[in-house]
Structure formats: C-alpha cells, structure tokens
Structure 1
C-alpha cells in the first residue's frame, strides 16, 4: 500500500480529518488567527490532501520530484486564491458554488486522445486511483456479486487491465455506490476508457468543469447532456 491510500475512509472524511488537524495546529501555534480564517485554512489543506490521493501514481511521482519547489508553488496558489476570493467578493458572488465566470470558462480544455490511443496507455498514467474487486470489498464493503451486477448493468466503469482483469476508478464511488449518471454516460460513450477519461477531464461542453465532480454533486442531467454532445458519431 502506498502512502496516499486511505484505509477505511471516504475522501470527504479524509479531507475533514486533515482540516481538523490543521485547525488544531493553527490554534496551538498562532493564537492571533481568527476562527473563520482557521476553518478556511483547514478546508483548503484538507481539500488539497484529498485531491492528491486521487491523482495517478505518475502524477504523484511528478509532485514528489519537485518537492523543493512546493513552498513557492503553494504561495502562488494562495495568492491566486486570495485574488479570486477578492474578485468574487467585489462582484457580489461570494459563496456561489458555480459563479457566472470562472478561470476555466475562458480556457479551451485540451482535446482527448482517440480510443485506439487510450488502449495502449497505462491505466495508472491517466485514470487516477483504481482498485480491484478485493480492495473494494475490503475497504468500501462492496461485495463482489454486487460489483459484478453493477458492471453487467453498466452502472459502474470497469477498465480492463491485461487479459481479463478489471480495475475500477475510485472517484466514481460515493458512500460505497457508483454515482448516479454513470450508466447514462456509458450508454452514450460506450468505450469505458474514453468515458472515464472524459468524465475526469475539464469539459468544453461544461464550460471547463469536470463531469465526475458534477456527478458527485448529483448534477446528472447537465453531465448527460454534455456527454450526448461529446459522444462520437
């Protein structure tokens, strides 16, 4: 097991745990910091820690390779975050989950590889964290029979690895179940690899937002319509 794997914890629970630890550390070492700022810092730290665990091993190793530069990059991120917060506050859109304008909205998402190219790519290099049925049964309490039933019905994305073995991207599960909308997306984008790649990348059809993030927020209709526009043919 690598150091990013979280046993017995959901991603949201892990983020909350990190946030609480950061808040306690701030309270201990900086008595002058106010409570709202303390909570915000904890939430930022927890969200980043959780997001890193969902990266592919390749991208995790890339981050490891530049650890000396991380403080500077983190400072740039915080300054950009503060500038965006100030912009939203001045525009009167603070607290809006999806404001009318976002940095991603003005950026054209990169084109996705073709299906044939995906088949030759290592799953670990692009799919994020994946796991087999044994891991899902032990850590998410998903019985093999249930997993196979979901797979037959197209309710879960299974990526074939090697001959007959399948692995399952972990980001598609919430509370031990696949998020709603996976079946609809697979009915439109029938290649599982292409479907998962589309789900996990900023989508031009969604103004640069990431489809799987929206499905995890129960915004199914919008994602399905975007998949219909994207679907080959």
Structure 2
C-alpha cells in the first residue's frame, strides 16, 4: 500500500438482489458518443414514474440520501449485460463505492478498470449495515481502503479484502494502461533481449523504427 485512502460519506441503502446493468443504466441512455449525461439515466426507471414524475419514496430521491457517495446493494449487483455505462453513471452521480455481497463478473471488472471501489461483505454484514443506516439518523460510513474495513455510523467495523492490484489501481489512480506502464523497465528489457536474439525480425528497418 502506498498511501492511506478512505472514502467517507452518506451511504444509500438499495438492497435489491439481481439489480442488473439494464436497470442501473437503461438502454435509452446509451445513444451518445461520449460518457456525458449518464447521471440522469442512473436507475431511471426506479427513480421516476412512466410519466416522468419523481418517485418521492425511492431512496435516491429522499433528502437524507442526496449526495450519497456509497451505494449499498443486494446480491449479484450489476449482473446482466456488459454495458460500461452502468459504472460511468454511478460515478457521474457521485458514487465512489458500492457495498454488496456479490457482483456480476463483468460489472466487477468494469468497475475495477474505472476505479469504482466495490466492497464485498457477507450478506449478514450487509443486512446489518442497511438496517443501521435505514433506521438511524446518521447515514455516514467510512471505507478505509488501507486497512480494508468499513466503519458504520455506530463505529461497528466490517472487514473486507481487496486484491493488491485492484487496491493499487484505486489508490494511485491508475487504469490498465497505467498499470502496464509501471512495468516499462521490464518491457524495455524484454524488447532489447528479443531484438538481440532475433535481429532478422526488423533487419531492414531504421533503428528508431525497430520498436513496435
């Protein structure tokens, strides 16, 4: 671990099992050629009625959860299609982390690559956290990535684990390209060895063009 990293803020409980990416980001919001404007589409059919009226009782429309940084979901969160827009929409809406018992596999890797923290906790711990937040006045949680622990409003601590590579990407702000470039010295050494052993691969190219 290089630097301490903590996410703190309001946590919004949405303990819905099998909440798929089609619900997280409906298809009508996938028509753009860039990533902009996706916050509006986040969970659109849950946040709004068919006629566009706001569903006042939906968790993300309630005043006490506005500005939430953490979303607490149910099992198999983010299952379904591989639309990366689901991750982008969560981030554009201000979410920096999701806590759930399990995740859809593709959503998990899309989140990792975009540095959206996914915390995996046992179902009973998620249920306890949801009950505390939904039933209390304090809605704030802290996720201590350095020590791999979620701290509830009461001070109750829930341990989790992150793969070292995922933690490094999150803390250092690296994507997959950035992680690859961390190995630049090893890449250069391999290329030098490769060309020395097989010079015929690029024998007719100027020296400055021999590296692909």
Normalised-by-shorter TM-score class: under 0.3
Normalised by the length of structure 2, the TM-score is: 0.23
Which gives a bigger RCO, structure 1 or 2 (Cα 8 Å, sep 6+)?
Answer: 2
Larger of the two Rg values belongs to structure? 2
More helix by share: 1
Higher strand share: 2
TM-score by length of structure 1 reads 0.21
